[in-house]
Amino acid sequence: MPEDDFIDIKFRLYDGSDIGPFRYSSASTIDVLKQRIVSDWPKGKTITPKAANEVKLISSGKILENNKTVGQCKLPFGESTGGVTIMHVVVQPSLAKAKTEKKTDNSQQKIVCSCSIL
């Protein structure tokens, strides 16, 4: 593959730290990038994705779709600094887990009215 078919990508996390840069083929899908992020996620972070579907990648203000390739998303990337493209990573825990946690929280927390009418 020609050198132009590869893109160096660095992933910026919520706390400003980075994962990478890594070199990807322009044929790599966004899903492949997300799987790499999950496997290389730094230890000790307060928010940690458990699966690739909990990760959202944002570049130039756009959320990138899993089935798109890096080459298809190349235009919105624009010019990159120092030859490395920076993508922002957002972690959204899966909805099923969040709903279960909310149900447990609500059952433990009972609201009692302490109003007095005089």
Digit-coded pLDDT (tens) for 16-39: 999 989 999 989 999 999 999 999
Q: In the chain, what are the domain boundaries?
A: 6-91
Annotation: CATH topology of 6-91: Ubiquitin-like (UB roll) (3.10.20)
- What's the confidence (pLDDT) of residue 76? 43
In this structure, what token pair is assigned to residue 117?
């009418």
Name the residue with tokens 């990807």. Answer: 24
Average pLDDT over residues 110-115: 61
Question: Which tokens hold the place of 16?
Answer: 């400003």
Contacts of 62 (CB under 8 A, 6+ apart): 76
Helices (H) and strands (E) in the chain, counts: 3, 5
pLDDT 10s digits, 41-97: 999 888 899 999 999 999 888 899 999 998 887 654 444 556 788 899 999 887 655
pTM over 0.85: no
Mean residue pLDDT of the chain comes to 79
Q: Which residue did the predictor score with more confidence, 98 or 32?
A: 32
Residue 107 predicted with pLDDT over 90: no
